[in-house]
Structure 1
Amino acid sequence: MNIPPYSEMMLPTIQVIDELGGSGTIQEIADGVIQLLKLPESVTSQLHNPDKSSQTEVEYRLAWCRTYLKIFGLLQNSERGIWSFTDKYQRGMKLTSEEIIQNVRKTNKNSKKKVTNESPEAIPEPIDWRETIHQKILSLKPDAFERLTKRLLREAGFVQVEVTGQSGDGGIDGKGIVKIQDVLSYHVVFQCKRYKGSVGPGAIRDFRGAMVGRADKGLFITTGTFTREATKEATRDGASPIDLIDGDDLVDLLKKLRLGVSVRMVEEVEVDGPWFEKI
Structure 2
Amino acid sequence: MDIPKFYELMQPVLTVVEELGGSGTNQEIAEGVIQCLDLSDEVVSHLHNPDKSSQTEVEYRLAWARTYLKNYGLLENSEKGVWAFSEKYQRGMKIEINQVLQTVRAKFKKPKKNNTNDSPEITVDPDNWREVLHQTVLSLDPNAFERLTKRILREVGFVQVEVTGQSGDGGIDGKGIVKIQEVLSYHVVFQCKRYKGSVGSGAIRDFRGAMVGRADKGLFITTGTFTRDAAKEAIRDGASPIDLIDGDDLVDMLKKLRLGVNVRMVEEVEVDCGWFEKI
Instruction: Quote the sequence identity (%).
Output: 87
Q: Measure, in 1, the Cα distance between the counterparts of 2:196 and 2:212.
A: 28
Q: 2:176 maps to what in 1?
A: 176
Alpha-carbon distance, 1:166 to partner? 3.7
The two structures have a TM-score, normalised by structure 2, of: 0.52
Number of matched pairs: 155
* Aligned-partner residue type, residue 263 of structure 1: V
Q: Measure, in 2, the Cα distance between the counterparts of 1:270 and 1:128.
A: 26
Tell me if 1:164 matches 2:164. yes
Alpha-carbon distance, 1:273 to partner? 7.2
Alpha-carbon distance, 1:268 to partner? 2.1
Alpha-carbon distance, 1:185 to partner? 1.0
Q: Measure, in 2, the Cα distance between the counterparts of 1:213 and 1:156.
A: 24
Q: Measure, in 1, the Cα distance between the counterparts of 2:210 and 2:271.
A: 63
Q: Measure, in 1, the Cα distance between the counterparts of 2:127 and 2:195.
A: 20
1:104-119 correspondence to structure 2 within 5 Å: none
Alpha-carbon distance, 1:274 to partner? 8.7
Q: Measure, in 2, the Cα distance between the counterparts of 1:242 and 1:277.
A: 60
Q: Measure, in 1, the Cα distance between the counterparts of 2:259 and 2:126.
A: 20
SS where residue 177 of structure 1 aligns? strand
Q: 1:242 maps to what in 2?
A: 242
Alpha-carbon distance, 1:272 to partner? 6.7
Q: 1:190 maps to what in 2?
A: 190
Alpha-carbon distance, 1:247 to partner? 0.6
Alpha-carbon distance, 1:167 to partner? 4.8
* CA 1:225–1:274: 2 relative to 1, 3 Å: closer
Q: Measure, in 2, the Cα distance between the counterparts of 1:166 and 1:214.
A: 15
Larger radius of gyration: 2
1:118-133 correspondence to structure 2 within 5 Å: 127-133=127-133
* CA 1:180–1:143: 2 relative to 1, 3 Å: same
SS where residue 237 of structure 2 aligns? coil
Q: Measure, in 2, the Cα distance between the counterparts of 1:148 and 1:168.
A: 23
Higher RCO, Cα 8 Å, sep 6+ = 1
Q: Measure, in 1, the Cα distance between the counterparts of 2:277 and 2:191.
A: 65
Q: Measure, in 2, the Cα distance between the counterparts of 1:127 and 1:248.
A: 14
Q: 2:153 maps to what in 1?
A: 153
Q: 2:216 maps to what in 1?
A: 216
* CA 1:190–1:276: 2 relative to 1, 3 Å: same
* CA 1:278–1:224: 2 relative to 1, 3 Å: closer
Q: 1:105 maps to what in 2?
A: none
Alpha-carbon distance, 1:170 to partner? 1.9
* CA 1:140–1:168: 2 relative to 1, 3 Å: farther
1:63-74 correspondence to structure 2 within 5 Å: none
Q: Measure, in 1, the Cα distance between the counterparts of 2:274 and 2:228.
A: 57
5+ residue gaps in structure 1? 1-124
SS where residue 165 of structure 1 aligns? coil
Q: 1:254 maps to what in 2?
A: 254
Deviations 1:200-245 (A, max 9, x none): 0000000000000000000000011000000000000010010000
Q: 1:88 maps to what in 2?
A: none
